[in-house]
Amino acid sequence: MDFPADLIRLLSNAQSMAVLTGAGVSQESGLRTFRDSQTGLWAQYKPQDLASPEAFAREPKLVWDWYAWRREAIKGVRPNAGHYALVELEKRNSAFTLITQNVDGLHQMAGSRQILELHGNIQRVRCSNCGCLAESWDEQSQEVPRCVDCGGLLRPDVVWFGEPLPRSQLEQAVQAARSCGVFFSIGTSGVVHPAAALPYSAHNQGAVIVEINAECTQLTGKADYFLQGKSGEILPELVKKLADTASR
């Protein structure tokens, strides 16, 4: 892919960078999106029946089993070239923040370090009562496992419909967006708030916006650079171009 020369110069000299990733990045690893994974037994349920506090209060075992099934499905999934390219991009920038809407943990698996998980992580489990993270639990149990500290039911450490995002993670994401020189929006539809507002916050503070997506989004018109295609193909090429430029 031919990248604009001014974009390469900009990224080569960037002092700070923030990246927002969405489901499109994980899809390239073969991971189904939340709704796409509602197949077979799960196809009969609405998303709110499987991912809301009300659903868990009503049928905790149903919700627990759904997330246990999803955790099992993720076990065979591995990061793709886009994930690894972001690791390399982080190594090139001392001020770098990766903000993700994904809950699969693939960024961590690839080796990214400065990560803000806006929607939680499906690999973690916490108590629905006291909020403590569970170090281990019985995946084979016929009942919903309980917290060893208070006896409350365990639940996935993800943000459900109707729940606020973790305050600390969101505040750090907003700060990263407002203070960065370059903001990447990668593989996200740009319609899920408050994450969708982050690139606009960056834009309003003078950051250069780079969007990488298979299709145009509501953000595309505001982006300074729109690189259309798969992030697993574009990002590795971009990182290689930056490395080649630096070695000259």
Catalytic positions are: 119
Nearest to 179 by CA among 25, 11, 14: 14
Which of the 8 DSSP states describes residue 204?
Answer: H
Axis-axis angle for helices 5-13, 231-247 (nearest 10): 70
**Cα–Cα dist 81/196, whole Å:** 24
Nearest to 26 by CA among 91, 85, 74: 74
Beta bridge partners of 99: 20, 116
> Which helix (H) or strand (E) segment is 236 a member of?
helix 231-247
Helices (H) and strands (E) in the chain, counts: 10, 8
